[in-house]
Structure 1
């Protein structure tokens, strides 16, 4: 992973087409290493989640080229690599497992290294079902889903409503989950974690602890799709 991080650091300092084209061969080498890692991660997670075992690397990875049409930031290239393992692939809108390597220069997306589960931008009907399921079955959700996740995972409150919807008590133990419009657990990593041996194994072990979270969300996603 060191070669990948070093490349991303250099790219962040030289985010232009001239530099990228001059370093295209280096990018291809780094991309090959990344794709190899992603293939191994798919196999590892697929051992306990059969939906993931069906995926290809292409189903789970992203282009390095940024879509700048609606962004004030016109930098042409992403300075991170991400892989999202989810039932049906990255565009299926299912909850899944996300691993992200950035420049390691901060604890904010996209510079950070991170692991996350869940997904963003769920259909309103899915959000409604999840709120109802969590509020009515809070103890089960906490015991069987939240408490089995590795303690480093935290609920991602980014984009949450400022107030609890009026249909739910603001002082309930599940109140924060009623504010969510997206459902994701996240943990941030440092260079030491990324650069130690057996990264695939260690990431897959963390992912395994959040499989119940993904399964819980995907139950609502599948119901809405049907």
Structure 2
């Protein structure tokens, strides 16, 4: 992963099309290294979460080119690589496992991290999750506790418990969530460890109960007419 980090550090300092075209081979090498890792990561997660078996690289990875049409940030390229491994692929609406590699202090998340959960879910999915929390909040809490080394991270929660739920609910803070995500920030030492793949698989295995719980609610939402 050293070559991946090296490239990402360079693109963060030279985020323009001229530099990118002159160094495209370095990008392609970094991308191929990352994709090879993700392919093995999919297989590894599949050993404890069969719902993601059969996914391909294309199902889980994103374009490196940024869509700058409606953004004030006009840098044409990302400064990270990311892969979202979830049932039926990254656009399915299901909860999954996100692997993110980025130099510390740069770009999208300001560093590398492992996430499990949902970011900006559709309203009907969020409603279904809140309904499940109101009925089985103790189970939801147990899945969070089981994810040792991860923390529940939503930087955009509601200020109040949503309408229709008791303000004094013991699970009020969970009901306020808009992005139910477990997060584990990792440093460069973690990314460059020779056992990165094994360590990442082991970490995500701790979040499988959380992911499965969320996807039960997602499935309920999709089944509603």
Q: Normalised by the shorter chain, which TM-score bucket? A: over 0.9
5+ residue gaps, structure 1: none
Determine the structure 2 residue equivalent to 1:112: 111
Determine the structure 2 residue equivalent to 1:53: 53
- C-alpha RMSD of the superposition: 1.5
Q: Secondary structure at the match of 2:117?
A: strand
Determine the structure 1 residue equivalent to 2:155: 158
Calculate the TM-score normalised by the size of structure 1: 0.93
Deviation at 1:114, TM superposition (A): 0.6
Q: How does 1:17-166 map to 2 (within 5 A)?
A: 17-105=17-105, 109-143=108-142, 145-150=143-148, 152-166=149-163
Query: How many pairs are equivalent?
Result: 223
Contact 1:103 1:112 (8 Å CA) reproduced: yes
Taking the aligned partners of 1:132 and 1:39, their CA distance within structure 2 comes to 35
Structure 1 residues 62-92: Cα deviation after superposition (integer angstroms, max 9, x where no partner) = 1100000110000000000001100000110
Deviation at 1:199, TM superposition (A): 0.6
Deviation at 1:53, TM superposition (A): 1.9
Contact 1:79 1:110 (8 Å CA) reproduced: no
Determine the structure 2 residue equivalent to 1:202: 199
Show structure 1 runs of 4+ deviating over 4 A: none
Deviation at 1:166, TM superposition (A): 4.3
Taking the aligned partners of 1:132 and 1:222, their CA distance within structure 2 comes to 13
Contact 2:144 2:152 (8 Å CA) reproduced: no
Contact 2:120 2:178 (8 Å CA) reproduced: yes
Calculate the TM-score normalised by the size of structure 2: 0.94
- Is the deviation greater in 216-225 or in 77-86? 216-225
